[in-house]
Amino acid sequence: MSAPWFWIILPMVFAGILWLLRNNSKITGIVSMVLQAILAGLAALMPIGISTRIGPIPVEIASTLSILGRRLVLENADRSYLAFLFAVGALWALITMIIKPHRSVVPLQMVIISLLVAARAVEPFLFGAVLVEIAVLVSIPMLVPPGTRPGRGVLRYLIFQTLALPVILLAGWAFNIVQIYPENQAALARASIFLGLGFAFWLGVFPFYTWIPMLSEESHPVVNGFILSFLPFIFLMLGLDFLNGFVWLRQGTYLVSVLQVTGVLMIVTGGIWAAFQQTLVRMAAYALILDTGFLLLALSLQNQVGMETFAANWIPRQLSLILLAYGFSTLQQHGYSLSVAGVKGSGVKYPILTAAIALAFLSFTGLPLTGTFAIREPILGELSRQSIVMTVWALVGVAGLLVGLLRVLFAFFAFSGRDWRSGENWYEGLIFIAGMVLLLGAGLFPAEFFKGILNMLESFPNLP
Amino acid sequence: MLVIAAPIFILLISIAAYLFYRARNNLGMAWAMDVIASILAFGLIIFLRFRLPTELVVKDWQGFTGHAANILRFQADYTSWPFAMMLMAVTLAFILTAPARLGQLSNPVIWTRTLVMVSFGLFAVFAQSPLAVVLAWAGLDVVEFVLLQSSLESERLRSQVVLSFGIRVGGTIALVSAMVISQASGLPLEFESIQPNASLLVLLGIGLRLGILPLNLPFTDEMVLRRGFGTVLRIIQASTCLVVLARLPEQLFPPVWTSILLSITFLAMIYAASMWLVSSDELKGRPFFMIVVGGFGITCVLLGHPAFVGIWTTALLISGGVLFLSSARGIIWLVLIGMAMVGMTGLPYTPAAPAWLGLIPAGFNLTAISSIIVLILLVLGYFKHALRKRDEVPASDPVARTLYPLGLALLIVIQWGLGIFGGPGYWGVGVWWASVAVSFACLVVGGVWFFLGKNGRVLQPNSWIVMVGGRVGLILSSILSLGWIFVVLKWFYALFSRFVQFLTEVLEGDGGVLWVLVLLALLVTLIQGSVLP
């Protein structure tokens, strides 16, 4: 058996089985969650490409699987990334099972995860873009439930993600030319521009991120959260693969500047726009844009601190996203609309739920006590050595998001009367408290929390 | 670990006391457990005095390779210990006097809330490195926010709590910004050797949290915070900022900046001291009292004498504590109030005496006059509020009758104890003429006012002087309280909101994709022009 069988084919096969069982959301949810948890555990424990023993039985998981002349490669260095990906997937399966957006979501989630893992594993990389496009197309039935029409946000999401495909394919063509004529500066520039543009479309880099708040407003919080949780993760990992693989790309003088300018623009616009939003979901979307900006800034540092903060950032980001998606869905289930005006007084009636939402937003602002503080502080500190102006602008963006959060807090506690009670169900309370404990734990003991995910960087030996 | 033993201990025991109360509904036992927790924590703090300096250091807190790591350090030293001692004294006084306030919403829930806050307050007081300070401040803010939101009833007050939280978080962000910006030179921020580019941000952070730079009073409705809980809360918030001030270096700003900042500080202090004087009772005036105390701390730092911050502020806060915790009066109480007032004046060989050197380091000048005026207003206000009519301690409750004066007396003992054993420079003559001037002015004005009041010759509320004075005071108050800043900010917010809305509609509308491409072209031009060669 090879690694792609476990982490690509097996989830795909199970997705097919779950599709047949999709009328029973509890079964599909439990199976998906358990399978992904097992796959995460397997990735954490089983070496790939190295023979080991399980009791008396010698075992070796090969790293490569060939299909139709293409290779799917998952190496030992990818184990941390796989463990993290499937662990997050298991959490999303749990949330989806509880919220039940619609019956097809769980199997489609499995298909998307499988396709995204394959996108990074496939060689040559050009096929990765095609696999990503298939994953995007598969996500459409998830975003548009049966019997409804797609909104403008879904269409814009589809347009921008699809625009990325030809641009990435053109980048592949340009890369081939660069390999033949490495001194050809025009070819180098062309390859860089195509690649940069492709990733800008994929990631929703400024100014291509308009689809993110639009999609958040139109689609179910859990479905939207899942998409925004996995796509940027895989895109950025693919981006690092490129930087790791091509020395001329990572040593290009323009790379740092482009990453810094776009990163800061995303932080500033994301933060300031968040301050003026009328709905919580749009505010969360802009908070995510701000966070992506910080990820780009981390990469722009081009040193070990940058790389490690980049890797560590995924833990609080994913936790916050899950808490927000689950929190928004639960608020809706309790009869609240997700506008700022619509959640008035919910802080008094559902204190644990709203505390979890507030803490997730606080985490995106990077305030002390949350996991992101330990990450943002070194990023901004290192950035200040390169440019004080950029640092100040980034802080302005953070302040903008904080204003947005204060508006949410005002709304949560706009209530007169002594009605302070915990209206959440026991499992809601349990999940929110667990999420908050994890976020605060990452904020208080970051070194211990982030130790595991830093191993993810072993996949990129050529990067700092 | 010794340094964090007291806060952890007090946290655990208070929660245990609360759980015990919930299980058995035994108020007396819960109170006794809280008293034991406070006494033991108090003992631990006294024990620390013989082990100074004691610290807890986590060197690689973030765990990122190659980062000029910020150290997480909690330290009990001569700077932090007096604040911790003062805080524990106020806490113990609060618990001991609690039975006398049973009719005023004093119950095990409030006691537990207070002790939880004290625990976080002690963490913040012992926080020595900027990283430890921001974490402790954030913890304190979050806990205070949750405790207040869960105890208030009106929407208006809940909004005030959110606003207050926002301003405090703003202060924390200012300090985080200072940490970030100071790394431009490659070194992490240290309070003792702060760089000029970060000093203004540090002062802004502390000023915002103290409510003085710029002046802000988001949570003025003190009555709902009650006498005991509110007092401890205010003192915790003040002491966690003042201890940071006391750690700053002597030369913080260039002289021009110092003059400007001093002017702003004195303006805020005179306003706050006046408001303290004219407040109808000490609880309504309490936030203004805290602003004046904070102002004294900031003034010491601006004048280059941060070492005196601790002496001034611990003495003033303890005196304030005596008044704020006094819910009933009696003969002993009058003596205690008198001693607390003496403790505020800084007369030679009293607890605050050496602190005058921090306010008047260069002889008689404008700073000295301003400081003296502010302190006169503060002591007069104290005197006025002390004379206010109060209840008697219920005669039927022997515990309350015994412990109530004992709790208040403890504060005076600690005030004097800190003066004698607080640390190097805590005992002395100070600037004798300044303290005598304050005492004399207070005696004369206070005596005249007291005499006129006794003979019914105070000004009538409908006299023209009172009416004109009141009107002028109202106008000045509305300008100096800076409430108009919030109105202006709101106006700007609404204006900018329309702009953002317009841009959003353009980018998300039908032609949005085209506009996005135009923006991309603009961005490429920008990067090409400014970044690429």
Consecutive 10-residue averages of pLDDT for chain A (464 residues) = 90 93 89 94 88 79 84 89 94 92 90 94 86 93 88 91 90 84 80 86 86 92 94 92 84 81 91 93 95 93 90 94 95 91 88 94 92 91 89 93 93 79 85 94 90 89 85
Q: Is the pLDDT of residue B458 over 60?
A: no
> What is the DSSP track for A175-220?
HHHHHH-TT-HHHHHHHHHHHHHHHHHHHT-TTTTTHHHHHHHHS-
Which of A210, A418, A447 is closest, CB to CB, to B507? A210
Distance of CA A269 to the CA centre of its chain: 19
What backbone torsions phi and psi does residue B292 show, to the nearest 5 degrees? -65, -45
Q: Counting Cβ atoms within 10 Å, is residue B250 exposed (0-12), middle (13-18) or buried (19+)?
A: exposed
Mean pLDDT of B328-346: 80
Q: What is the domain partition of chain A in residue ranges?
A: 1-106, 124-245, 252-464
Residues 6+ apart with CB under 8 A from B61: A374, A446, A447, B69, B70, B71, B72, B131
- How much is the pLDDT for B465? 63
Q: Is the pLDDT of residue B241 over 50?
A: yes
Q: Which residue is it, tokens 């108009």?
A: B484
Q: Counting Cβ atoms within 10 Å, is residue B187 exposed (0-12), middle (13-18) or buried (19+)?
A: exposed
Q: Is the pLDDT of residue B125 over 90?
A: yes
Per the model's pLDDT, the better-predicted residue between B332 and B17 turns out to be B17
Q: Which chain B residues touch A447 with a CB distance below 8 Å? A: 60-63
- Please, are residues B355 and B349 in contact by the beta-carbon 8 Å criterion? no
Which of A208, A385, A447 is closest, CB to CB, to B62? A447
- How much is the pLDDT for B63? 82
Nearest CA in chain A to B183: A381
Nearest CA in chain A to B527: A258
Q: How confident is the model at residue B225 (pLDDT cuts 50, 70, 90)?
A: low
Residues 6+ apart with CB under 8 A from B183: A381, A382, A384, A385, B68, B189
What backbone torsions phi and psi does residue B159 show, to the nearest 5 degrees? -65, -40
Q: How far is CA B456 from CA B449, B451, B453, B490, in A?
A: 10, 9, 5, 47
Which of B66, B162, B507 is closest, CB to CB, to A413? B162
- How much is the pLDDT for B464? 67
B184/A402 touch (CB, cutoff 8 Å), yes or no: no
Which of B162, B510, B514 would you mutate first to test chain A, the one with the most A CBs within 10 A?
A: B162
- Tell me: cis bond preceding A124? Omega within 30 of 0 counts: yes
Q: Comparing C-alpha atoms, which of B370, B204, B216 is closest to residue B288?
A: B216
Nearest-Cα distance to chain B for A390, in Å, is 11
Q: Which residue is it, tokens 């408290």?
A: A433
- Chain pair A-B, CB pairs under 8 angstroms: 154
Parallel, antiparallel, or unpaired for β B391-392 and B72-76?
A: unpaired
B516/A303 touch (CB, cutoff 8 Å), yes or no: no
- Please, are residues A413 and A348 in contact by the beta-carbon 8 Å criterion? yes
Assigned token pair, B44: 């631990």
- How much is the pLDDT for B215? 66
Between the two ends of chain A, the Cα-to-Cα distance in Å is 33
Mean pLDDT of B118-129: 93
Residues 6+ apart with CB under 8 A from A61: A1, A2, A3, A6, A46, A47, A48, A49
- Tell me: cis bond preceding B214? Omega within 30 of 0 counts: yes
A368/B67 touch (CB, cutoff 8 Å), yes or no: no
**Range from A81-85, A177-181, B300-304, B327-331 carrying the lowest mean pLDDT:** B327-331
Which of A214, A262, A402 is closest, CB to CB, to B508? A214
Q: Is the pLDDT of residue B423 over 80?
A: no
B66/A413 touch (CB, cutoff 8 Å), yes or no: no
Q: Is the pLDDT of residue B468 over 90?
A: no
Q: Which residue is it, tokens 């901004």?
A: A380
- How much is the pLDDT for B390? 67
Alpha-carbon distance of A402 to A409, in angstroms, equals 10
Which of B64, B152, B518 would you mutate first to test chain A, the one with the most A CBs within 10 A?
A: B64
B142/A369 touch (CB, cutoff 8 Å), yes or no: yes
Which range among A51-60, A414-423, B411-420, B441-450 has the greatest average pLDDT? B411-420
- How much is the pLDDT for A434? 95
- How much is the pLDDT for A424? 84
Query: What ipTM was reported for this prediction?
Result: 0.89
Q: What is the domain partition of chain B in residue ranges?
A: 2-481, 485-530
Q: Which chain B residues touch A200 with a CB distance below 8 Å? A: 520
Q: Is the pLDDT of residue B395 over 90?
A: no
B504/A273 touch (CB, cutoff 8 Å), yes or no: yes
Q: How confident is the model at residue B279 (pLDDT cuts 50, 70, 90)?
A: confident
Q: How confident is the model at residue B529 (pLDDT cuts 50, 70, 90)?
A: low
B183/A385 touch (CB, cutoff 8 Å), yes or no: yes
* Count of residues making up chain A: 464
**Side-by-side strand order, sheet with A70-73:** A64-67, A70-73, A122-123
Mean pLDDT of B404-429: 81
Q: Which residue is it, tokens 């990325």?
A: A164
Q: Is the pLDDT of residue B43 over 70?
A: yes
Q: pTM of the entire structure?
A: 0.90
Q: How confident is the model at residue B533 (pLDDT cuts 50, 70, 90)?
A: very low
Q: Comparing C-alpha atoms, which of A355, A323, A429 is closest to residue B150?
A: A355
Q: Which chain B residues touch A348 with a CB distance below 8 Å? A: 149
- How much is the pLDDT for B254? 79
Nearest-Cα distance to chain B for A51, in Å, is 31
Q: Report the percent of chain B where pLDDT is more than 90.
A: 12
Where do runs of H (alpha helix) occur along B59-129?
80-97, 108-126
